[in-house]
Amino acid sequence: MASAKPPGDSRARRATAELILTERRAANLRRARVIVPVMMLIHAGWGLVFTGIDVKPGGEEAWRDNLVHLHMASVAFTFALSAALHLGRQVRALDRIRDRAGELLCGYGLTVGTLAAINTLHYNFGLTAWIMAMVITAVATQLRLVTQLVLQLGATVAIGVACLASSPELGTQIRNLSNVTLVATISIVLARILDRAFTRELTARRAIETLNRELERRVAEQVGEIVANSERIDALNRQLASQVQARSLELSSALERLAAAQHGEDTLRAGTVIAKRFEIRRLLGVGGMGVVYAAFDRVARADVAVKLVHGNVAGVASAYRFLQEASAAAGLSHPAIVRVLHVDVTDEGRLYQVQELVLGRTLDTWTLRDEPIPPGVVARLGAALADALACAHEAGVVHRDVKPQNVMITEREPGCRLLDFGLAKLRRSLVDSDLSEAGAVIGTPQFLSPEQIAASDTVDGASDIYALGVMLYQCAAARLPYDAAAPIQWLHAHVHDAPLPLPASVGEIAAPIMACLAKAPRDRPTGRELHATFTAIATALEAPPLTAWAARDDQNETRRIAK
């Protein structure tokens, strides 16, 4: 017992059959609207031609008159059919004619061709007109199999009967019938081949359209999901921004309380105006030499940073040194060095320095994570800072406190800025030792060079190179180069201990970093040499710019926090 086919398959087949029928009718209508007017003009032309032909009286005259009448009748039929096909859109009553345009075109063509052939067969002129009608209608129309067979077989039977009646000779009759059978077979097969091709093309086109609609639906769903996820991420970012803002306010308040506890009246409140020009906005940080504020320059109409020196360190010698060193730093011009814009004394006698306000995050944001920074990025950072230090050293300025807290990662090229030349000391001023306390150690223990510890009066640019090497070591290895805890242990390690070897994963940057950590200043590379070395390594590693790396790291950190 045969199993019943699923109802869904039947509905699908019916839908496909209806679709094919609709497309056949549309194709036949398009072709008929072009072919029928053209045939009307052709019939009119041939009618005029045959009307003017001189023939012999008798049989040929009847042959000519029959063709003239046939063409004139065809002109009338094609005119009426053309009008019906083109008016069908406006006149609903003509819709049935428009739906049957293919059948009417095929029937008309076969009828005219058969009648013309019968007329010529009577006078032994041949089957040309009928053959042309059979082939043209097979190519020009898309009909169902039954309809095509009925029309073409009808024309074939009619012309076959005419062949039998046209000649009493059996040989001629067999030859004509053979030609008729061959032409009919070719025409029917050709019609079927073209119809199958039409059906396959239609089916494939519909399948592609269905697939495209499905793809569009899926894309729309995915876009919807992306938009929804984007909205959730935006909400999360707003929430994180609110939390960061709240945390920043808490830290700012804590800094203010710390500064007030340590320095009493040294700290300034928001809104305080220095030199009738610089309006204090908020506290940025507190250091050993002073307090740093974000402020607004009313004259330049720009945001700036104001560093106010502590009153307890601003003696005459310190004040002179501060002004001298700030003046030297103001002469530095390098994209990786924060520019000094103004140096002066307040009405109360407090020293202050105005610098450009740099937006970003200090490098210790990354080093405190205890995660190594990629070697290529370390090379980019080393190249930029080495170039900045070379510029300062050539101008006679030594930074003396290179460390992650004094390096700002920014959104503008070269992607980092060297902060706080407040501890910088002119090499030429070292000759005049009354401006420097003998034996004083200035800097951060973890980043001091051996010569800073042993005899600070001999410090030059090589000391900054040593500190840069310690900082880059920490970036690459996620740890410092010595095992030490207390400040005295750090001082001993810098002078006497060999640095721990860098892990093999840091690759080519290990050699220049370890060269920076040489105990003797003369054995360390210069800033220019380091810049060239690190630039070549970063290029070979195809390292991203610092700005791109920092932006991508911020996004990853935001996603990590969100989880």
Q: How many CA atoms lie within 13 A of 435 on its CB side?
A: 16
* 459 touches 439 (CB < 8 A): no
Task: Determine phi and psi for 514, rounding to 5 degrees.
Answer: -65, -30
- Binning pLDDT at 50, 70 and 90, where does residue 322 land? low
DSSP class of 299:
T
Give the per-residue pLDDT at 482: 95
CB neighbour list of residue 479: distance below 8 Å, 6 or more residues apart: 370, 500
Report the catalytic residues: 401
SS3 157: helix
- Binning pLDDT at 50, 70 and 90, where does residue 447 land? very high
DSSP string, 522-547: GGSPPHHHHHHHHHHHHHHTTPPPHH
Give the per-residue pLDDT at 535: 95
DSSP class of 267:
S
User: Token pair for residue 480?
Assistant: 């410092």
In Å, what is the CA distance from 313 to each residue of 56, 351, 386, 424? 137, 10, 31, 16
Q: What is the widest separation between alpha-carbon atoms in the chain?
A: 144
Q: Does position 316 have pLDDT exceeding 60, yes or no?
A: no
Q: What is the mean pLDDT of residues 248-271?
A: 57
* Bridge partners of residue 416, in order along the sequence: 409
Give the per-residue pLDDT at 436: 42
* 437 touches 431 (CB < 8 A): no
The answer as to CATH 2.40.30.10 being correct for domain 358-563 is no
- Quote the mean pLDDT of the chain: 81
CB neighbour list of residue 239: distance below 8 Å, 6 or more residues apart: none
- Give the closest residue to 492 by CA, choosing from 526, 522, 519: 519
Give the per-residue pLDDT at 449: 92
Question: Distance between CA atoms of 310 and 327, rounded to whole angstroms?
Answer: 19
Q: CATH number of the domain at 268-357, please?
A: 3.30.200.20
Give the per-residue pLDDT at 89: 63
pTM of the model: 0.52
- Binning pLDDT at 50, 70 and 90, where does residue 325 land? low
For 283-304, letters b (16+ CB in 10 Å) and e give: bbbbbebbbbbbbbbeeeeeeb
Q: Does position 562 have pLDDT exceeding 50, yes or no?
A: no
Own/partner long-range contacts of 285-288 (Cβ < 8 Å, ≥24 apart): 285/255, 286/255, 286/258, 286/259, 286/262, 287/420, 287/422
Give the per-residue pLDDT at 241: 58
Number of neighbours of residue 463 by Cβ within 10 angstroms: 26
- Give the closest residue to 468 by CA, choosing from 409, 405, 513, 528: 513
DSSP class of 346:
-
Taking only the tens place, the pLDDT of each residue in 178-217 is 888 898 888 888 888 888 888 888 888 877 888 888 888 8
DSSP string, 227-249: HHHHHHHHHHHHHHHHHHHHHHH
Question: Distance between CA atoms of 148 and 28, rounded to whole angstroms?
Answer: 13
- Binning pLDDT at 50, 70 and 90, where does residue 554 land? low
Task: Determine phi and psi for 519, rounding to 5 degrees.
Answer: -70, -40
* Bridge partners of residue 309, in order along the sequence: 290
Could you tell me the end-to-end alpha-carbon distance of the chain, in angstroms, rounded to an integer? 61
CB neighbour list of residue 115: distance below 8 Å, 6 or more residues apart: 70
Give the per-residue pLDDT at 380: 95
Q: Does position 426 have pLDDT exceeding 60, yes or no?
A: no
Q: Does position 494 have pLDDT exceeding 60, yes or no?
A: yes
Q: Does position 57 have pLDDT exceeding 50, yes or no?
A: yes
Q: What is the mean pLDDT of residues 118-130?
A: 75
Give the per-residue pLDDT at 32: 87
| Region of 542 on the Ramachandran plot (φ > 0 left; ψ -120 to 50 alpha; else beta) | left
Give the per-residue pLDDT at 381: 96
Give the per-residue pLDDT at 559: 47
Among 14-23, 226-235, 311-320, 518-527, name the one with the lowest average pLDDT. Answer: 311-320
SS3 504: helix
SS3 100: coil
Q: What is the mean pLDDT of residues 124-139?
A: 82
Question: Distance between CA atoms of 414 and 408, rounded to whole angstroms?
Answer: 11
* 319 touches 303 (CB < 8 A): no
Question: Distance between CA atoms of 62 and 45, rounded to whole angstroms?
Answer: 19
Q: Does position 499 have pLDDT exceeding 90, yes or no?
A: yes
SS3 117: helix
- Binning pLDDT at 50, 70 and 90, where does residue 555 land? low
Q: Does position 355 have pLDDT exceeding 60, yes or no?
A: yes
Domain ranges of the chain: 15-218, 268-357, 358-563
Q: Does position 17 have pLDDT exceeding 80, yes or no?
A: no
